[in-house]
Structure formats: C-alpha cells, structure tokens
Chain A
Amino acid sequence: MSTLLSKKSRQVLLGPLSKNNPITIQVLGICSALAVTAKLEPALVMGISVTIIVAFSNIIVSLVRNTIPNRIRIIVQLVVVAALVTIVSEILKAFAYDVSVQLSVYVGLIITNCILMGRLEAFAMSNSPWESFLDGLGNGFGYAIILIIVSFFRELFGSGTLLGYNIIPQSFFNVGYMNNGLMMMPPMALILVACIIWVHRAKNKELQEK
C-alpha cells in the first residue's frame, strides 16, 4: 500500500477535493456547472461520468505520452476524449437506454469540459499512468462535489424537491411559501459557485490573493 498511495499520490488524489479544486480554485468546467445543476440527478450522473472519463483518458494519454508529437498533442488528447465519450454513450444506449435518454445532451457536453483538457495537458502529459489515474479520480470527485452542492440548493429551493421527491411539505406552501424561480435560472448557479468560493477562501487564508 505504501508504494501505491505514497505521500505524493495522496496529495494528487485528495488535493483537488479542496485546496486545488478544479471549479473553485482553477475555475474550470464552469459552463457545465451552470447547465446541469438545476436538478440533483443529472448533476450526480454528470459528476460520475466526468470522473470515469477523466480518469481513463488520463491513463491512456499518460501511457502514450512519450510518443505523442508535440505539435498535435492537443488534437491527440481530444481524439482520445471524444472516442471514450462516444463509446460510453453507445454502451449506455445499448444497456441502459433510460439513463442515456435522460443524459442525451450531457454526455456530449463532457467532450467540451475544460477540466478534461486541463488535466490531460497539465498532468497526464508529464506523469506516470497510476498517478494520472489518481489525478483523474481526484479532479472528477472535486468537480462532482461542487456540482452536487450547487444542485442540492438549486433543486431544494427552486422546485422544493430532491432527486424528484418532495421535501418541502405541502403545509409550507399552504401558508404562502413559494419556490424560488431564480434558483432554476443559470445565473443562480454562478452566484452559488461564488458563495462556495467565498466560504472556501474565508476558511483557507492562504488561498486569498493579495
């Protein structure tokens, strides 16, 4: 175990969850954070899909990193990601049709997720496959956590439900409580992400810029 999870590996895996989070610190992947967080369920599935794809594309690119011609490296990375995403979406269509119908647009969106390109370029191109895999998992989870937090608040206050189940009791509505329509609009996701960044930096003073 000591060789598998050395200090550096642990740093690679856990860093992106907080101090090096792809969304709140590197501000990558904001576009999809806006698009899929109106409900908790698509946010969960998106988080899982991105984690799987970033981990495996990291492994593949890391394995062939020494053979990739420098001038077309971005294209090579893109082809790897696009191929993986296409295969995942084909498999979903064959074996989990209902899920694939729900995901329709989101699966395609993964290809354009900046986190993937960012991690491939910044990490997998210069590190071993095992560490790249951990880095992929860490960043995927870091991304998923923020998506889940944002969608939790948006679905709870925007539609009064969580995963489609009613949470806010009917008696609240009877005495005049109303769902906040603004929560369903994309700008609210930005505001919530900004709130998370605010709390996060207030707790970690070293992250604050001068």
Chain B
Amino acid sequence: MNTNSNTYTLVYATVMVVIVALMLAFVSGALKEKQNSNIELDKKKQILKSLRIDAKQNNIAQLYDQYVIKGLIVNTNGEILSYSKKEAFDIDIAKELSKKVEERRLPIFIAQVEGETKYIISLRGTGLWGPIWGYVSLNDDKNTIYGAYFSHASETPGLGANIAEPNFQRQFEGKHIFNEKNEFVSIAVMKVGKKAEGREQVDAISGGTITSKGVETMLLNCIGQYEAFFRQLSTIGEIKQ
C-alpha cells in the first residue's frame, strides 16, 4: 500500500484522532467521580490544616464534619446571603474574585475547636508563575490569626514553593489583622530585617520575594472583603440558625 498518498494520510490522521479522542474520553469519564471526590477531600483537608488539624486520608471527612459546624455566604457589605454549609463549600473563590466587588458571594466557615469559635476565610491570589491559594482561621475576636494554610500551583521548588511549608505558615499564628485604632491593615510579609510600618509582619522567603509579596496581597485583598461582615458580627453577636 502506498502510505504516502493524500487519501491514506487523511484517513490515517482521522482514524487516529478519533481513536485517541474516544480513549481519552473513556478514561476521563471513568475516573471523573473518583477525581472529584479526591478534590473535595483535598479541600476539606486544606480547611482543616488552617485549623492546625492534620487529617489522615481516611478520617478527613469525619474530622471536617466534627469541627466545621457552619458555613455562610456573605457579600462585601456584610450581609448574609445563605446559611448553607454545603453551598458555601461549593463556591469557587477564583470565579467570585473575577466578578464585580458588590456581586461577589464569599464563603466563610465557622468551626468549633476546643470549645472556641474560629472563622475560616478562603484566600486566592497570584504568585510568580501561577495561582496561589489558602485558608486562614481567625479567633473569636475576629482579629487574631489562629492558623494559616497556603498552597500553590507552580511556584519554584525550594524558593516560592516554600509558602506551602509549615515553617512559613506557623509564623502567622497569633498575628493581628487590625491595628490599635481598629483599622483593617492585614499582615505584611517582609524581607528578613526590614520593618513594616503600622502593621504586624512575618518573614518572607529569601529568593521567593514575588511569591511572598503575592501572599501579602492575597491576605490584604481576601480578608479585606470580610471587614464589613466582621464589624456587623461584633454588633449583633452570635449568628442565629
């Protein structure tokens, strides 16, 4: 057979593409459910990490249900839009951040750890090469950070990627996001030896300056959106329902 004729080449290419496409579609369809449940478990694991709880693969779902008791959706004016924990969990924070500020639906989770209430906020920002994200939990005073967890898609291993290391994340514990005048200032991530004006700070990763600054911007932008909600919460006290 002449394998160099135009007809043969065209038929060959078509058949090959159809076979490969069917194969990939089959693999993707067969594994979809398993992958989605992995993604969901991974998200729960990350939320638990921001509460300083290190879950094992087999008890993530159980620990999540045990500690995280409520989920709310709020907007940037501090109004509560939904009281559904499931809905709050399903929100894709990346999508919300691309909307107009007043249209955003922001998830917040409320957890009970050793009898104390913690508020968990979803974070998302940009690093050097791609997106970075994480969760930060606040104490009942809505000011002191209880725990922080960050992760990234493609930061440089050994440099920017170290934001996913506990050594970096533990620095945030006990820091305050409001200053003495009760203004929201977030937390600075500063080069070792430099001093931030008017707000508390943690050490940046040497060699990972852009990623470290990405974390700082992410904290400022994402936590800032909840400022109105936190102020309202302080006046009404406990959340009903």
A residues apposed to B, CB below 8 Å: 36, 38-39, 42, 66-72, 75-76, 79, 83, 86-87, 90-91, 93-95, 97, 101, 104-105, 154-155, 158-159, 181, 184-185
- Does A87 lie within 8 Å of B158, measured CB to CB? no
CA distance A86 to B12 in the complex (A): 21
- Does A38 lie within 8 Å of B158, measured CB to CB? yes
- Does A104 lie within 8 Å of B158, measured CB to CB? no
CA distance A62 to B41 in the complex (A): 41
- Does B13 lie within 8 Å of A72, measured CB to CB? yes
Please provide the chain B residues from 61 to 116 with a CB less than 8 Å away from any CB of chain A in the complex. none
- Does A158 lie within 8 Å of B24, measured CB to CB? no
- Does A75 lie within 8 Å of B157, measured CB to CB? no
Chain A, residue nearest B42 (CB)? A97
CA distance A101 to B153 in the complex (A): 8
- Does B24 lie within 8 Å of A91, measured CB to CB? no
Please provide the chain B residues from 3 to 41 with a CB less than 8 Å away from any CB of chain A in the complex. 3-4, 8-9, 12-13, 16-17, 20, 23-24, 27-28, 31, 34-35, 38-39, 41
Which residues of chain A have C-beta atoms less than 8 A from B206's C-beta? 181
B207 interfacial by beta-carbon distance below 8 Å: yes
Which residues of chain A have C-beta atoms less than 8 A from B27's C-beta? 86-87, 90-91
CA distance A184 to B155 in the complex (A): 13
CA distance A71 to B9 in the complex (A): 8
Q: Assess A76 versus B16: contact at CB under 8 Å? Given A71-B4, A158-B158, A181-B206.
A: yes
Which residues of chain B have C-beta atoms less than 8 A from A39's C-beta? 157-158
Which residues of chain B have C-beta atoms less than 8 A from A159's C-beta? 158
Which of A75, A76, A87, A154: most chain B CB closer than 10 A? A87
Query: When A and B form their complex, which 8 residue pairs have the shortest distance between CB atoms, in order from nearest?
Result: A94-B31, A38-B158, A97-B38, A69-B9, A94-B34, A105-B154, A38-B157, A39-B157
Chain B, residue nearest A96 (CB)? B38
Please provide the chain B residues from 136 to 178 with a CB less than 8 Å away from any CB of chain A in the complex. 153-154, 156-159
Which residues of chain B have C-beta atoms less than 8 A from A104's C-beta? 153-154
